[in-house]
Amino acid sequence: MNKLLELLQKQSVLLLDGAMGTELFKRGLISGGCPEEWNVSHPDRVQDVHRAYVEAGSDIILTNSFGGTRYRLKLHNLQDRVVELNRAAAQNARAVADAAGRTVLVAGSMGPTGELLIPMGSMRYEECRDAFAEQARGLIEGGVDLLWIETMSDLNEVKAAIEGVRTVSPEIPICATMSYDTRGRTMMGVTGAQMAKELAGLGLTAIGANCGNNLIDTEAALAEMRAAAPDMILIAKANAGMPRYEGDKLIYDGTPEVMAAYADRVRRNGVTLIGGCCGSGPAHIRMMRQVLDGVIPVPEAPPPTPSAAASEPTGRIRERRVRR
């Protein structure tokens, strides 16, 4: 049963959630800490983030498991707790979704391993596939409705993740998004059109773009996907504007008004799964909900124009995406 397609038949557009890490930092997660470990040590705080997004209007919430493969958890000496931590991530989101009083779906977040596949790096395809299979097992045991492969740069890693999921469950719905953060391409040079063409025949429920350096490049990648695969369900889960550092603090310039205007634009361009990524919080999601529902008019807030420097992520921003 594909609950995502069932819900899309009832609602023409579904609202996703926003950032998880930013909200956990507000609740006490220290820099360099492991968000996934909080699924066990601080489940109340993780559930509080999920609840804030549900109350803001999210129809789909992503589990706190972005870095849940053994390769990422090894950075915290937690590589032997993959299934446990991912199961707990799913259970935390499931508890909030089931108490929402309306249909809220739980998507199991699966971010990149942080390793490069051969020949660019040393990780074998089979190792990558098996890492995602292990993560998927925990998420499925915890009760997710679908799996959400996100923030990818390498199409081969996406394919390994899909294959890994399918070794655990042939039926569970899968969505996949890539990050267009390097002059309109992913860090590995993939265009929106390439993504759509190569993934179109792999049985995914939806594809799209998330994260990225700016709204303009993200929306351009989505337009390429629409042209290359007109019948695919598309996802837009963009960052709240453009990231920049002020000292050691990463700042996003996308206000709730900017993100609400973006939500309206991508909806008019045929995107049906819409949310926010880094820098977006419940306030952004709430205003996006109000605009999508026609409760308030669309704000006059065009996307910030990316500077030349912003068209390619800095080393520190790239490192943050790998290790966040």
User: Which tens digits make up the pLDDT trace of 140-185?
Assistant: 999 999 999 999 999 999 999 999 999 999 999 999 999 998 888 9
Say which amino acid occupies 298.
Answer: V
Q: Say if residue 277 carries a ligand binding annotation.
A: yes
Section 57-77 average pLDDT: 99
Give the distance, in angstroms, between the CA of residue 305 and the centroid of all CA atoms in the same chain. Answer: 23
| Angle, CA 290 vertex, CA 284 and CA 292 arms, to 5° | 100
In DSSP notation, 196-207 reads HHHHTTTT-SEE
Q: What CATH number labels 3-293?
A: 3.20.20.330
Q: Which of 37-46, 113-122, 302-311 has the lowest mean pLDDT?
A: 302-311
Q: What is the pLDDT of residues 98-127, one digit of tens each?
A: 999 999 999 999 999 999 999 999 999 999
Residue 5 or residue 318, greater confidence: 5
Between CA 67 and CA 90 the distance in angstroms is 14
H helix runs in the chain, sequence order: 3-10, 21-26, 38-41, 43-56, 70-73, 82-98, 125-141, 155-168, 192-199, 215-228, 256-268, 282-292, 315-323
Q: Where are the domains of the chain?
A: 3-293
pTM of the model: 0.94
Section 296-315 average pLDDT: 65
H helix runs in 33-81, sequence order: 38-41, 43-56, 70-73
Please enumerate in sequence order all residues whose Cβ is within 8 A of that of 28, keeping only pairs 6 or more positions apart, or say none.
42, 45
Give the β-pairing of 174-178 and 206-211: parallel
Confidence at residue 303, expressed as pLDDT on a 0 to 100 scale: 74
C-alpha pair distances (Å), 23 with each of 27, 46, 270, 323? 7, 9, 29, 16
Confidence at residue 228, expressed as pLDDT on a 0 to 100 scale: 98
Q: Say if residue 278 carries a ligand binding annotation.
A: yes
